[in-house]
Structure formats: C-alpha cells, structure tokens
A = this chain, B = another copy of it.
Amino acid sequence: MKKVNLAVVGATGMVGRKVLEVLEQRNVAIDNFYAFASARSAGKKLEFMGKEHVIIELNEENIKKHPVDVAIFSAGGGTSATFAPIFAKVGTVVIDNSSYWRMDKSVPLVVPEVNSDALKHHNNIIANPNCSTIQAVVALAPLHRAFEIDRIVYSTYQAVSGSGVAGWADLENGLKAYNNKTKDEPKNYLKPIFNNVLPHIDSFLDSGYTKEEQKMIDETRKILCDDSLKITATTVRVPVFNSHSISINVNFKKSFKLEEVFEVLRSADGVVLMDDISKPLYPTALDTDGKDEVFVGRVRLDDSVKNGLNLWCVADNIRKGASTNAVQILEKLF
C-alpha cells in the first residue's frame, strides 16, 4: 500500500477519534495528515501517530490549501452534503460516514467483506453504511450467497454510542441520577435511557417506521444488490454504552441443513462464530467491545417458516459499524 495523504473531517467526534485510533492500530501508511473540524474545535490540537496536529477549520479555502488523496467524514449529514462535493471536485476520494450520500445511485455503499467490487466505479464519494446494517450484512451476505435470502425481520438492541457523545452522556447522567436519587432528565433522548428501552432511533417517517429502520431496509438491499429482498425492522435503543446486538430472523429460497449454515459462518470473512449451547457460548455487547469482527451466535432453525433461521449478531458499532469499516474501505482503495 502506498502512503496516502489523508484528511479526517469531524476528527474530534466519537467516530472521528476512533478512526484515528483504528488507523494507528492497523498501521495505515500515511504521508500528510490533516484533521478538520468545525470552527468551534479549530485551533485545538490532537495527537495522531506520535505527532501533534492543529485542527483546521472546515471551509473551501482550507480544503484547497491542503490537498489529500482521501477524506474520511464523520461529521453529520449536513457537513457531508456541503463539503464532500468540494473534496470530490479537487480529486479527493471521500469516505463518508453520514447517511447523506448512501442511497445516491452514483455512490457505492460498501462493506469490504461483502461488496468491495462496488469500489470499482465511483465519482469520488463512497458511503459507509449504517452501523446496524454493516454488522447484519457481514453475517447475512455469505448466507445469501449460499441459500438466497427471501425475507429478513430485524429487531435491534443498539448502544448509546450510536448517538455519539450526547447519547453516551444521557446514559452516564441517568446513572448518576439513579445513584443520587434525583430525576433523570435526558438531553439527547426524549425519555430516560438508563433503566429503560426506547423503540425510537432517528426521526419518524409517515409510514410509522423510523429513519433508522428504513436505513436498515434500504441499505441491506443496496449492499446485497437485490431490491426485491423482503425486509422489515424494529430498531431499539438499550442502556448499553457500546456494541449493537441484533435479533435476526431470516428465511431463504433454498433449503439447507443447520450444519451448512455453521460451515458458511465459520468460513465467512469478518465473522466470528461464537455458538455452543453446551457451554453455553454466545456473543454479548461486552464481549465485542473494542473488536473489529462481527460476532454471531444463537444460530438455530426456525420451523415456523420454510427454510427459516434465527441468529444473534453483535458488533462494536463504533469500530466495525463505523470507523473500522471506513478504514477498511481506505485500505481496499490503495
């Protein structure tokens, strides 16, 4: 891999900071590096790969002043909408963590274990999928190739880190309120998340689904290259700091034996099969915190539908669900 000139946009956010950590851990060869952020953070310093870097304010002038090969964006949809095209126009490849470009037909939506072929054609903007979708498709894609998915029912158990520092703070503050016997007054969520479960992630659409649910439906179809896939989703926030879990009910067009499913998952790229009811062994949020793989357990036949299967899928949503996936895309590009 040749040395890459890299910008990280939104370098001070939860995902941005994790991107820097993952780049260091994976020893990505970087030549020039620039950390961009909003005016609020500009001028502050951050350390990356043993050097101190002054954070640069994100504006057109500064983008042109610091030419790079790749810019990883983790700064929200509005920032991506405005500034990704400016980078793209000067020849920088943008890897964008926001949802803004994901469903654009000219933008590849990539999970490297699943559809790195999609990287062949792009107009300098590549989208990183939704966190829950990434981990689900890493587990489902090899099964789809083997047995052809007919329908998926997702129910998620999502960590507060998915809402960034504001979500994390709501859980921390709820915990403090419980300790101090004071009222839990959340700032990010509409209701307390400590000691509670919220069936509400992102805003509501007229259909009654949330945007998060619709993202899982649309993005699974786009990544698996099959608009005919039948999918429904219920996305839910649980009082866990990090790592998302998903209860996946799926049925296939082709018949299979359970042992074949285990075999496919055992040899699947990016998947750790953690399933042994005799111990018992299954993945949980805490087991996967800080890991880059997608963990799968509770794999069992569902005889309530033809060729049915249940599985339990857990991954670190800030690593594989965001930063690691973006860095893997960078690695695939160069």
Contact = CB atoms under 8 A, between A and B. Distances in A.
Given A236-B157, A238-B197, A312-B234, A208 B151 contact: no
A230 B304 contact: yes
A298 B234 contact: yes
A241 interface: yes
B305 A238 contact: no
Nearest to A311: B234
Given A204-B277, A282-B200, A300-B209, A155 B232 contact: no
A298 B208 contact: yes
> Within the oligomer, what is the number of copies of this chain?
2
A290 to B, nearest CB: 13
Chain A at the B interface: SS class: mixed
Interface residues of A, number: 54
- Which of A207, A245, A304 is the most central at the interface, judged by chain B CB atoms within 10 Å of its CB? A304
Interface in A281-302: 282, 284-287, 297-302
Given A157-B236, A234-B312, 18 more contacts: A153-B249, A155-B234, A155-B249, A175-B175, A191-B286, A192-B286, A199-B297, A200-B280, A200-B282, A204-B280, A207-B301, A208-B300, A208-B301, A232-B308, A234-B249, A236-B245, A247-B247, A249-B249
